[in-house]
Amino acid sequence: MTEATAFAESVPGTEIVPVSGPELITYADELAALLVETVAGGASVGFLAPLDRDAAADWWRGRAASVDAGHHRVWIARDGERVAGTIGLNLAQLPNSRHRAEITKVMVRPSMRGHGLGRSLLATAERAAAEAGLTLLVLDTETGSPAERLYRSAGWTECGSIPDYAGDPAGALRPTTFYYKAIRTTERPASPR
């Protein structure tokens, strides 16, 4: 694993760890299986069903350069040696938006849902964002999805919905709700002169 600190979270037997670009390539097949399973289960995470596992693995491998460049961060939750969940953090690149990032691809295996793993993944990304000096996080999810309960209960604020924003796995256009969360950084203020 990477040299970064692994976060031991509240789900017994599960650890959440950051992955580097090469590690993302190593885990691409397992992450692809998770993505295929998530899409097949009806979650709107950017893909249509049926999602080809090889195409899903290629998508994950395609993120490796962005992770290595520092534009994107990915964590995986491991239940033993199996990938049980994942979360991403896309860092804004424009000079006027470097204080914020977008939470992406929050996915938990169906057998692991309801045990706090999604909340632990979210807390991990929030903590890393704060440590990086970010002050604002945003995300979006299909309106009415179970994920909305997670985000609201974790202190995220709904800021609006857009009708017909994205297709669900069957291709039907659905509304999407956007959320934000202001976070406090863990950076120390500059010393007075």
Question: Which pLDDT value is given to residue 185?
Answer: 73
Least Cα distance to 35 among 50, 21, 16 occurs for 50
User: CA-CA distance, 158 to 148, in Å (whole number)?
Assistant: 9
CATH architecture, range 7-182: 3-Layer(aba) Sandwich (3.40)
Least Cα distance to 147 among 170, 173, 121, 171 occurs for 121
Cα distance between the two ends of the chain: 41
Question: Which pLDDT value is given to residue 158?
Answer: 98
Buried b (16+ CB within 10 A) or exposed e, 12-44: eebbbbbbbbebbbebbbbbbbbbbbbbeeebb
Question: Which pLDDT value is given to residue 13?
Answer: 83
pTM of the predicted model as reported, rounded to 2 decimal places: 0.90
Question: Which pLDDT value is given to residue 4?
Answer: 37
Question: Which pLDDT value is given to residue 186?
Answer: 67
- Under DSSP, the state recorded for 188 is P
Question: Which pLDDT value is given to residue 7?
Answer: 47
Domain assignments of the chain as residue spans, ordered by start: 7-182
Is residue 75 within 8 A of residue 125, CB to CB? The reply is: yes
Question: Which pLDDT value is given to residue 191?
Answer: 39
Question: Which pLDDT value is given to residue 33?
Answer: 97
Query: Chunked in runs of 10, what are the mean pLDDT values of the chain (193 residues)?
Result: 42 91 98 97 96 98 98 95 95 96 97 93 97 97 96 97 98 98 71 38
